[in-house]
Amino acid sequence: MQTLRYGIVGGGFVARFHCRALAQVRGIDVVGFVSKDPLDELLAFARNLGLGEPRAFASIREMVPHCDVVAIFAPNFARVEVVEEIVDAVKAGAQLKGLICEKPFARNMPEARRIMDLVRPLGIPTAYFENQIHMKCVKAARQQLEPVMAAMGAPLLVRSGEEHAGPHSGWFWDPTRQGGGVMSDMGCHCLAVGWYALTPPGKPVRFLQPLSVSADLALLKWGQPRWKEELLKRYGVDYGKTPAEDFATGMVTYLNPETNWKVKAQFTVSWMYDKMGLRLSLDGIGPGYAFEMNSLRSPLEVFIGDVAAAGLADTELALEKAQASRGLLAVQPNEADLYGYTDENVDAAEAFRTGRPPLLDWDYGVEITRLTMAAYLSAERRATIDLTDPATAAELEKYIPKIQQGRGAEVL
């Protein structure tokens, strides 16, 4: 098997998570990282996982000529400049087999289109990383139900949720840098997995046609004085001046172009889920069948009493975004695999090696950006957004949500 040399842009939370995933994928050698923060700890972590002898590069331009694949795991506000630098390196002679971009693809449609205008002429295969679609649970549900779906029809309604108690870095909370609040940060997960879970087996990921989006956004917890102050103190972000939503819910309606039947995906995301840690949930209903997933249900539980808990420091050892270090805790021993990070890397690497398309490419990322923008527009207008209307489609191309502009106080 041909070894692929990976270069990673970004050295934070998700880069580390992907290292844990890549350690479970064959034929990957991480040549290095580019980051704005010191990388010593991450380099040692990657080496210990057997991912090669990665080093810290001073710039993207320096790293790209050493890579077959470049993975963009930097913050949302840096997407366009990161892609510009990669493209410059390729134009200067670097040869890439593939490009990977984490979610969200872009903060708005002008950014998404700019990225595609830069990358498309190069003809390099692209993979958009939406981990939930690659979750083994999601795949298993579809495999198990495939004969049932063939007999009875595809799901008619799915409901997806991604919730935790709030992000780990200050820039996520700042709507002007991140792109908004939880809808921009995590709504993309639910939009993607909802669309996918409704899609009849064997059909392409964009087979179902999005018809309309309605959404409701709110600032329920982090706008309250006590929590607002904590954000200011911890991250220097002032939700008194530039608030973002910590809760979003809504509905996307799709058309099956073969049966002419409409199906629906409901989504709920929040940064105010004060329970054990990150919860990904998905349930679906078809004619005569159903499925249900909850990532907090684990075959493994541990209990830590008050006395034993004294001195316990790193609560995230048990679960991503863990909220407690004592009591009855759910433990997921292999979160990188559970959440789909392993399988999305397997899919991308195989695609780049063999030349087949990955399950999700950057055009798919653009479409998820469009649906996210439609959700913001719907919440601003308090109206359902008709995606089939040409005037609305044109408006979405230019639209920057008020929350993203730092004018969230006008709408929340």
Ligand X SMILES: NC(=O)c1ccc[n+]([C@@H]2O[C@H](COP(=O)([O-])OP(=O)(O)OC[C@H]3O[C@@H](n4cnc5c(N)ncnc54)[C@H](O)[C@@H]3O)[C@@H](O)[C@H]2O)c1
Identify the residue whose tokens are 């999005």: 210
102 interacts with ligand X by CB under 6 A: yes
74 interacts with ligand X by CB under 6 A: yes
DSSP string, 165-212: S--SSHHHH-HHHHSSSHIIIIIHHHHHHHHHHHSPTTS-TT-SEEEE
Q: Can residue 154 be called a binding residue for ligand X (CB under 6 A)? A: no
Task: Report d(CA 357, CA 36) in Å as an integer.
Answer: 32
Which residues 6+ apart lie within 8 Å of 315 measured at CB?
322, 323, 324, 325
| Angle made by CA atoms 298, 296, 316, in degrees to the nearest 5 | 95
Based on the shown chain and the rule CB under 6 A, indicate whether residue 263 belongs to the binding site for ligand X: no
CA–CA dist 65, 58 (Å, integer): 13
Asked if residue 11 binds ligand X (CB under 6 A), the reply is yes
Residue 404 contacts ligand X per CB under 6 A: no
Q: Kindly give, in sequence order, each residue whose CB lies less than 8 Å from that of residue 2, ignoring residues fewer than 6 positions away.
A: 27, 353
- Whichever of 253 and 270 has its CB closer to ligand X, that residue is 270
Pairing of strands 209-218, 157-163: unpaired
Kindly report the backbone phi and psi dihedral angles of residue 114, in degrees, each rounded to the nearest multiple of 5, phi listed first: -60, -45
Q: How far is the CB of 13 from ligand X (least distance, A)?
A: 3
Smallest separation (angstroms) from ligand X to the CB of 305 = 32
The H or E element containing residue 81 is helix 79-91
CA distance 393 to 367: 12
131 touches ligand X (CB under 6 A): yes
- We find the least distance from the C-beta atom of residue 45 to ligand X, in angstroms, to be 13
Q: Which is nearer to ligand X, 103 or 228 (CB)?
A: 103
- Binding flag, residue 59, ligand X (CB under 6 A): no
CB closer to ligand X, 34 vs 141: 34
Using CB under 6 A as the criterion, what x/- string covers residues 14-53 for binding ligand X?
xx------------------xxxx----------------
Q: Which is nearer to ligand X, 85 or 283 (CB)?
A: 85
191 forms part of the interface with ligand X (CB under 6 A): no
Using an 8 Å Cβ cutoff, are 115 and 82 in contact?
no
Q: Is 174 in the site for ligand X (CB under 6 A)?
A: no
Min. distance of Cβ 383 from ligand X in angstroms? Answer: 28
CA dihedral 270, 272, 278, 283 (to 10 degrees): -40
* Binding flag, residue 103, ligand X (CB under 6 A): yes
CB of 36 to ligand X, least distance (A): 3
* Shortest separation between residue 330's beta carbon and ligand X, angstroms: 18
Write down the least CB distance from residue 398 to ligand X, Å.
23
* β-pairing verdict for 261-270 and 28-34: unpaired
Helix (H) or strand (E) holding 128: strand 126-129
- Please report whether residue 73 would count as binding ligand X according to CB under 6 A: yes
Among positions 75-94, residues that touch ligand X (CB under 6 A) are: 75-76, 78, 82
- Per rule CB under 6 A, is residue 187 in the interface with ligand X? no
When asked if residue 358 is in the footprint of ligand X (CB under 6 A), the reply is no
- How far apart CA 353 and CA 400 sit, in angstroms, is 37
Q: What is the token pair recorded at 384? A: 């359902």
Which of 4, 9, 191, 251 binds ligand X (CB under 6 A)? It is 9
Binding of ligand X at residue 10 (CB under 6 A)? yes
In the complex, residue closest to ligand X by CB: 12
Minimum CB separation of residue 210 from ligand X in Å reads: 21
| Residues in touch with ligand X (CB under 6 A) | 9-15, 34-37, 73-76, 78, 82, 102-104, 131, 169
